[in-house]
């Protein structure tokens, strides 16, 4: 299992799936929708986020409609993981199903935008190397991380079924 390392993009409470996947772009290709991901709360997010960067948010991240595209837009942009005080239930499930680690982090308010973080999603260890601070949250089970590392539920199932045929 790999360590996820990147800059923190910090958001507050109640970030809605509608701002992650704006309805105006539903018929557009995912690349177009992803270019508008979170622009209502951070107009520069999609241009600035780099593969491995982490989203750190407050309560109820992913509240709102059951838009699978919200998690897909984040994975398309290369977001390494989402750490939040709490998640909208459906977004949390969609994130994992589409290969995006999502961990509950009660200390999210301690992180500042631009902080470099390292996350071990299995042990739940979060580090801020610049200060030496670390926190431990409940990690993701190894079998779930295997699914995430395969790209999500459907790619994992395809791999598993292919192995069963041989």
Domain residue ranges in the chain:
4-165
Residue with token string 């993981």 = 81
The answer on pLDDT for 74 being more than 90 is: yes
Summarize the confidence of residues 35-42 as an average pLDDT.
97
The answer on pLDDT for 53 being more than 90 is: yes
Summarize the confidence of residues 99-111 as an average pLDDT.
98
pLDDT number for residue 66: 83
Using a 10 angstrom Cβ sphere, with 0-12 exposed, 13-18 middle and 19 or more buried, the burial of residue 165 is exposed
The answer on pLDDT for 92 being more than 90 is: yes
* H or E element at residue 102: strand 102-104
What does the mean pLDDT of the chain come to? Answer: 95
Is 149 in a helix, a strand, or coil?
Answer: helix
DSSP 8-state code for residue 111: -
Report the DSSP beta bridge partners of residue 8. 54
The answer on pLDDT for 153 being more than 90 is: no
Whole-number Å distance between alpha carbons of 36 and 150: 26
Q: Under CATH, which architecture does the 4-165 domain have?
A: Alpha-Beta Barrel (3.20)
> If pLDDT is split at 50, 70 and 90, which confidence band does 60 have?
very high
Whole-number Å distance between alpha carbons of 29 and 8: 27
Give pTM, 2 decimals.
0.94
Whole-number Å distance between alpha carbons of 85 and 40: 21
Summarize the confidence of residues 68-95 as an average pLDDT.
97
User: For the chain, what percent of residues have pLDDT higher than 70?
Assistant: 99
> If pLDDT is split at 50, 70 and 90, which confidence band does 1 have?
low
Q: Say if strands 81-84 and 54-57 run parallel, antiparallel, or are unpaired.
A: parallel
């Amino acid at each position: 299992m790999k360590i996820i390392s990147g800059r923190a993009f910090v958001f507050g409470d109640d970030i809605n799936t509608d701002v992650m996947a704006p309805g105006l772009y539903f018929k557009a290709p995912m690349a177009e929708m992803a270019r508008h991901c979170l622009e209502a709360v951070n107009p520069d997010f999609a241009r600035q986020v780099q593969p491995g960067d982490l989203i750190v948010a407050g309560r109820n991240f992913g509240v709102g409609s059951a838009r699978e595209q919200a998690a897909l837009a984040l994975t398309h942009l290369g977001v390494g993981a989402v750490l939040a005080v709490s998640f909208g239930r459906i977004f949390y499930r969609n994130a994992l199903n589409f290969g995006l680690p999502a961990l509950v982090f009660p200390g999210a308010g301690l992180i500042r935008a631009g902080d470099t973080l390292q996350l071990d999603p299995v042990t739940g260890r979060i580090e801020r190397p610049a200060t030496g601070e670390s926190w431990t949250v409940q990690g993701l089970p190894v079998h779930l991380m295997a699914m995430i590392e395969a790209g999500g539920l459907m790619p994992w199932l395809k791999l598993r079924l292919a192995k069963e045929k041989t």
